[in-house]
Every structure is written in structure tokens, then in C-alpha cells.
A = this chain, B = another copy of it.
Amino acid sequence: MSDTHKTLVIGLFGFGVVGEGVYKVLKQTPSLKATIKKVCIKNPEKERDGPAELFTTDKRELLDDAEINVIVEVINDADAAFEIVSEAMTNKKSVVSASKKMIAEHLCELLILQQATKMSLLYEAAAGASIPIIRNLEEYYDNDLLHSMRAIVNGSTNFILTKMFTGNLNYFQALLLAKQLGFAETDPVLDVEGHDAAHKWSFLLTHAFGIVVNHHTLVYTGIQRIDAGDARFAAEKEYEIKLVAEAKKMENDMIAAFVLPQFVNKTDPLAFVRDENNGVVIESGFADRQFFYGKGAGSFPTASAILSDLSALRYDYKYEYKKLYHHAPCSLSNDFFLEVYVSYDSVRHVPTEQFAIIRTTHRRQDRCYLIGTISFKTLQNSTWWRDPDISLIVMPDGVNHAAAAQLKLSAHRSVEENKYEYFPR
């Protein structure tokens, strides 16, 4: 078989941490028979670990070279990346990309480009770095009925949360450490405010459920408002706090999806995901519950995912987006309820009347909290929970179908009405 494999002549865009990783990793894997012909960089002054004639600042030298049949794109600028990728595919080159922001922001155009040019666009490295999640969703869960997918897809926030819990650091100390170790960008907003996780979640939803959604329309936030009191609550209840991307099929076959901080039980596989690692838990009709875990960032883990994409290109592998094109694609639901914990300085900032039920409220010297059930639609349409002094964390198994939530609710009301502090709507 091996002699029928395509020979890969690569044009590489970007020579930062990931780009240099790809260069080094390819040098160590001659068996792949893939060579980098040219590397396009932005700053020609910077010293590079490679022969000078390899580098250029002129993208045309890569895009117009007919011998180059694969473009590997690992640059930071999402708009420039999209331009490169589109032009490469139009020029009949296959593309491997690690730019999650670019893919999320241009998912729709990229889907159309793939259909129109019939070229491969692979991006395993863009979500979960070393975890082969996209390929497994495409190939392994092709025909299985996915019930839910829950994941930790941002290593830097997970690193910070781990250090807040086990290293007894506060948020700012943990963030500083993450920066020092290279697990967070100098400007960490994309990570800590959840944008990066939402980017990745948007295209994972496409592969898992055939949903094509702009990440802006997803409900998401990051870990920036989690405070020591929340960590204390978690410790008391033997929970951990994780930034969880969740997608769950409801009874009407629509998908409840969001990226929010969440308490997880110690028995939840996601509780096992520490430091800068990522993890994905998939529940499906046939395969039952599966868990994939690995390094979510870093030069070599990311390069290894790119390598596996290159390897697949040798036999012209393409994503088929089977859940989108070959099955009835799912759509997003906002008709469900979330059980949430909300901590705050003053209850005046929390519109308690928005809650369907409030199960408990607790006043501490330092900070107060309540636990209640709120409709997702309400949350989607309000902004109070994004206030700097309010922290909202989803309870374990906090997603409830509307009907189920109503049922629970009336049971609560009739049987145990006295037991709960209840704010009527």
C-alpha cells in the first residue's frame, strides 16, 4: 500500500512555538516522506533554528508553487490565516490548520470551500491538541447515536483552576504562574474569558451533531469571576470546578449546549483532568461512555496532531461531516433548565425572581450564594450573571429538559414547599 501514498511537499505558514514544533517533529519522522519546502514568516529579523534559504516573507512563494501540495498553517492572525487557507484550497492544495479562532469564525465559509474545491482541510490540532477527538467523532461515532459530549478544551484555564484548588493559589497568582510556564498568553483574555473554549466547541458541535453555529451565539463565559469562596464551597461538597463545554441531546433531539464553569463530582472523568490537560467524555447509544484525555496544548502535542493529519493526507483523507450531510443535523435548543450556584456580594444584584425555584440560599460573612433552577432562555437573555462580582457555576448534572424540570419543580412545590426558600416569579 505504502507506494501508492501521496508524497507531501509542504509550505508552512508560521514558525512560532507550534510551527517550529512541526519542523522538528517532521525531521524526526523521515518515514512520513513529507518535506517542508518553504516557511513563510512575518518577521525576517528574528533568528530561526533552520537554514536561511528555507524562510521567506512572501506568501506567494508558497501559494504559487505548483510543487507544494500541502499548506500547513499555524499562524496567530485569524484573518490572515483564513486568506491563506482559502487561497491554498482554491489553488488545489490540501490544508492542515491549527487555528481554532480562524476555523470557528469562518466555519461556514470553510465548509463551503471544502465542498466547492473538493480539497482536504484537516484541523485535529485546533481542538484538544494531542487528543484525536475530531477524527474519532468523524470515524468512530459516525453511525453511533451521540447522547452527550462534555469536555475540557482549554488547558490554560484548567491549569489555573487546578492551581487554585491544589496549590492554594488565588486566581491572580495562578494566572501569573500559568503565564510564567507558558500555559497562558501574555493577553490571557481569549483563554480565561472562555472565548477559546467557545471557538473549539463551535466546530466540535459540527462534527458531533451536525450543528453549524457561530461561536458568538453560544452561551459561554470563562473562569474570571470564580473566587475563593466558590472554591471553598466546592471543597466542602467534594466537587471540583472546571470550565466545562457541554452538549446534551434533549428528548426532542435538539441539543443543549454551552461553555460555563461547572462543579463536577470526583467520579466524573472530567475531575481527573488536571493542569494543562484536556479531556472529552462522550456518551453514546452503542459505545456507552468514553473518555479521551491528553495534553491540550504545547509545541509537540500540537505538532503530533498536525503530523497525524499529514499522515492522513497521504491517502487523501477528508472530513465528511457525516452528521451534517449524511444524517439529519441537530439544532440548538434553549428550551431547558439549568441548576446553578450563584455567589454574590449583595443579593440585590441577583434578580431572584428570574429563578423557577431557589433551593437554598446561604449567607456567609465574606460572600453569599444561592442554588436554584433557571431557564436557559432567561440566562441567555440576561446579563446580570456576567457582572464582575457575581459568579455563576452550573451544578453537577445541572442540565434538565424543560418538562423534567417542571416535574421536579412541582414535586418540590407540593411536597416540600416549606423546606425551600422560594421566590415566586
State the Cβ distance, A362 to closest chain B Cβ, in Å: 31
Chain B residue contacts of A295, Cβ below 8 A: 287-290
Q: Which residue of B lies closest to A1 (CB)?
A: B320
Q: Give the docked Cα–Cα distance between A250 and B141 (Å).
A: 36
Contact A294-B289, Cβ < 8 Å, known A143-B31, A143-B307: yes
Report whether B142 and A308 are in contact in the complex, using a CB–CB cutoff of 8 Å.
yes
A320 nearest CB neighbor, chain B only: B1
Which of chain A's residues 125-148 have a Cβ closer than 8 Å to chain B? 130-132, 135-136, 139-145
Taking CB atoms, residues of chain B closer than 8 Å to A272 are 269, 272
Interface assignment of A2: CB less than 8 Å from any CB of chain B: yes
CB contacts (< 8 Å) of A288 on chain B: these are 130, 294-295, 298, 300-301, 304
Taking a contact as CB atoms under 8 Å apart, the answer to whether A132 and B136 are in contact is yes
Is A326 among interface residues, defined by CB-CB distance under 8 A?
A: yes
Query: Given that A293-B269, A320-B2, A326-B31 are contacting pairs, would A287 and B130 also be in contact in the complex, using a CB cutoff of 8 Å?
Result: yes
Least CB separation from A141: chain B residue: B308
Interface of chain A residues 272 through 300 with chain B (CB within 8 A): 272, 284-295, 298, 300
Rounded to whole Å, the gap between the CB of A126 and the closest CB of chain B is 15
Contacts A31-B327, A290-B294, A292-B291 given; does A311 touch B139 at CB 8 Å: yes
Assess the A286–B311 pair: CB atoms within 8 A. Answer: no
Report the minimal beta-carbon distance from A160 to chain B, rounded to whole angstroms: 19
Would you give the shortest CB distance from A291 to chain B, in whole angstroms?
4
Q: When the two chains form the complex, which single residue of B25, B289, B318 contacts A286, counting CB atoms closer than 8 Å?
A: B25
* Contact A284 B312, CB 8 Å, known A289-B295, A293-B269: no
Residues in chain B near residue A28, CB distance under 8 A: 145, 285
Q: How far is the CB of A176 from chain B (nearest CB, A)?
A: 24
With beta carbons under 8 angstroms apart, the residue of B135, B142, B287 that contacts A139 is B135
- Is A305 an interface residue, CB under 8 A from the partner? yes
- Taking a contact as CB atoms under 8 Å apart, the answer to whether A308 and B135 are in contact is no
Judged by a CB distance under 8 angstroms, whether A29 is at the interface is: yes
A304–B136 CB distance below 8 A: no
Interface residues as binary, A28-49 with B (CB distance below 8 Å gives 1, 0 otherwise) = 1101100000000000000000
A156 to nearest B CB, angstroms?
16
Q: Which residues of B contact A2 (CB under 8 A)?
A: 320, 325-326
Chain B residues lying within 8 Å of A325, measured Cβ to Cβ, are: 2
| Nearest 6 interchain pairs by C-beta | A286-B304, A290-B294, A291-B293, A130-B287, A287-B304, A29-B143
Binding site for B on A (CB under 8 A): 1-2, 25, 28-29, 31-32, 130-132, 135-136, 139-145, 269, 272, 284-295, 298, 300-301, 303-305, 307-308, 311-312, 318, 320, 322, 325-327
